[in-house]
């Protein structure tokens, strides 16, 4: 057994076990999904991908697996990499208009001839279960997280499981993409942490990371963060999902942190697989249930008032 495998035991308190944490979230999601289905509003998730990247395919596979386990309807729409803007926008418009569809997720990345911001902006905010419509992601600045961005919410949830007090905590976030690094920084700021965001132009990554009580890494480079870049006792939250080829022709999923060297120094660490990934899927399905409830409330209000159901083009806000 590899060293990293041997350490993945439930009794190892250094390891933040995403399968256990994700399971806790799913129990409530399953209950709510059943209640919605019984009331005639079953949640239904549609996953759109244009072209196929390894990380997105792993994600879709797990969305499907977990949705099925929870009795939630799931459908995949896989477009070829050369699909046109008009084709993808038309598919999104049809899904927006279909009352049986309660959530839409667009896998990233999309091919260069498409603009993710435009596609994401075309998803109705009530069906934006990723929280990545420009209006939804903007709400993060107001600390309004009705449907927060899944991966970032999941990553911060992992840190909360350390029991560390987030107020005043020194945190370094490596990677500043709009879907992971930036929203993590906003979530942490709203928790009172002191946040430093690093990226490819950061002159000396380890000068920053070695000061941090917690390091988040979301870059897409296996082994980027090594034990000598971590302050002893710090938490390492590894968001990277990279499929690497093995000499025997097989493949393996690894994160952005060099697990074994970080394990030795860290106070807590998220493994890959089995860390942030499973929690991300749970948060996505939790958002799907929230979306179904928002849509139900909207339609019921609209019908009561005698109006034709027509969802407003605004992001949801907390009731």
Ligand X SMILES: NC(=O)C1=CN([C@@H]2O[C@H](COP(=O)(O)OP(=O)(O)OC[C@H]3O[C@@H](n4cnc5c(N)ncnc54)[C@H](OP(=O)(O)O)[C@@H]3O)[C@@H](O)[C@H]2O)C=CC1
Residues that bind ligand X (CB under 6 A): 55, 108, 151, 174-177, 179-181, 198-202, 205, 218-221, 239-242, 276-277, 280
Q: Check residue 216 for interaction with ligand GUE (CB under 6 A).
A: no
Q: Check residue 277 for interaction with ligand GUE (CB under 6 A).
A: yes
Q: Check residue 131 for interaction with ligand GUE (CB under 6 A).
A: no
CB of 70 to ligand X, least distance (A): 18
Interaction with ligand GUE in 132-151: which residues (CB under 6 A)? 150-151
Q: Of 307, 267, 290, 300, which is closest to residue 125 (Cα–Cα)?
A: 290
Kindly tell me which of 102 and 107 has the beta carbon lying closer to ligand GUE: 107
Among 253, 265, 302, 311, interactor with ligand GUE by CB under 6 A? 253
Stretch of 135-143, 214-222, 224-232, 275-283 contacting ligand GUE, by CB under 6 A: 275-283
Q: Check residue 289 for interaction with ligand GUE (CB under 6 A).
A: no
Q: How far is CA 286 from its chain centroid?
A: 11
Interaction with ligand GUE in 59-118: which residues (CB under 6 A)? 59, 62, 105-108
CA end-to-end span of the chain: 51
CB of 106 to ligand X, least distance (A): 13
Stretch of 80-88, 207-215, 221-229, 269-277 contacting ligand GUE, by CB under 6 A: 269-277
Kindly tell me which of 36 and 218 has the beta carbon lying closer to ligand GUE: 218
Kindly tell me which of 76 and 206 has the beta carbon lying closer to ligand X: 206
Q: Check residue 130 for interaction with ligand GUE (CB under 6 A).
A: yes
* Cα pseudo-dihedral 80, 82, 84, 88, rounded to 10: 20
Interaction with ligand GUE in 14-53: which residues (CB under 6 A)? none
Distance from C-alpha of 130 to C-alpha of 106, rounded to nearest angstrom: 8
- Specify the pairing of strand 44-50 against strand 73-79: parallel
Q: Check residue 273 for interaction with ligand GUE (CB under 6 A).
A: yes
175 is in an annotated binding site: yes
Print the SS3 string covering the chain. Answer: CCHHHHCCCCCCCCECCHHHHHHHHHHHHHHHHHHHHHCCCCCEEEEEEECCCHHHHHHHHHHHHHHHHCCCEEEEEEECCCCCHHHHHHHHHHHHHCCCCCEEEECCCCCCCCCHHHHHHHCCHHHECCCCCHHHHHHHHHCCCCCCCHHHHHHHHHHHCCCCCCCCCEEEEECCCCCCHHHHHHHHHHCCCEEEEECCCCCCHHHHHCCCCEEEECCCCCCCECHHHCCCCCEEEECCCEEEECCCCCEEEECCECHHHHHHHCCEECCCCCCHHHHHHHHHHHHHHHHHHHHHHHHHHHHHCCCCCCCCCCCCCCC
Size of the site for ligand GUE (CB under 6 A): 22
241 is in an annotated binding site: yes
Instruction: Please choose which of ligand GUE, ligand X, none residue 253 contacts, taking the beta carbon within 5 to 8 angstroms, the exact cut-off set by kind.
Output: ligand GUE
177 is in an annotated binding site: yes
Stretch of 35-43, 160-168, 226-234, 268-276 contacting ligand GUE, by CB under 6 A: 268-276
Known binding-site positions for NADP(+): 175-177, 241
Known binding-site positions: 175-177, 241
Binding site for ligand GUE (CB under 6 A): 55-56, 58-59, 62, 105-108, 130, 150-151, 179, 241, 253, 272-274, 277-278, 280-281
């Amino acid at each position: 057994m590899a060293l990293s495998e041997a350490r993945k035991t439930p009794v190892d308190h250094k390891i933040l076990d995403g399968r256990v944490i994700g399971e806790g979230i799913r129990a409530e999601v399953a209950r709510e999904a059943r209640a919605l289905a019984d009331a005639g509003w079953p949640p239904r998730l549609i996953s759109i991908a244009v072209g196929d990247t390894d990380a997105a395919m792993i994600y879709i596979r797990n969305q499907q697996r977990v949705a099925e386990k929870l009795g939630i309807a799931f459908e995949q729409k896989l477009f070829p990499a050369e699909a046109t803007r008009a084709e993808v926008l038309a598919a999104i418009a049809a899904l927006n208009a279909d009352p049986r569809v309660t959530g839409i997720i667009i896998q990233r990345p999309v091919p260069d001839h498409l603009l993710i911001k435009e596609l994401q902006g075309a998803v109705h905010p009530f069906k934006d279960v990723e929280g990545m419509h420009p209006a939804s992601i903007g709400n993060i600045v107001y600390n309004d997280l009705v449907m927060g961005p899944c991966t970032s919410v999941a990553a911060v949830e992992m840190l909360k499981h350390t029991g560390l007090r987030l107020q005043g905590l020194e945190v370094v976030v490596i990677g500043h993409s709009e879907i992971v690094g930036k929203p993590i920084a906003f979530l942490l700021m709203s928790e009172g942490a002191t946040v430093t965001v690093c990226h490819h132009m950061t002159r000396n990554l380890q000068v920053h990371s070695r000061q941090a009580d917690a390091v988040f890494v979301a870059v897409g480079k296996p082994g980027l963060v090594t034990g000598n870049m971590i302050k002893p006792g710090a938490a390492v939250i590894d968001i990277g999902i990279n499929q690497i080829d093995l000499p025997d022709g097989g493949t393996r999923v690894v994160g952005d942190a060099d697990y074994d060297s970080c394990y030795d120094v860290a106070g807590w660490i998220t493994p890959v697989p089995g860390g942030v990934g499973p929690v991300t899927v749970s948060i996505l399905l939790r958002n799907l249930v929230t979306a179904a409830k928002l849509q139900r409330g909207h339609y019921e209000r609209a019908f009561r008032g005698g109006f034709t159901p027509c969802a407003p083009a605004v992001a949801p806000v907390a009731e």
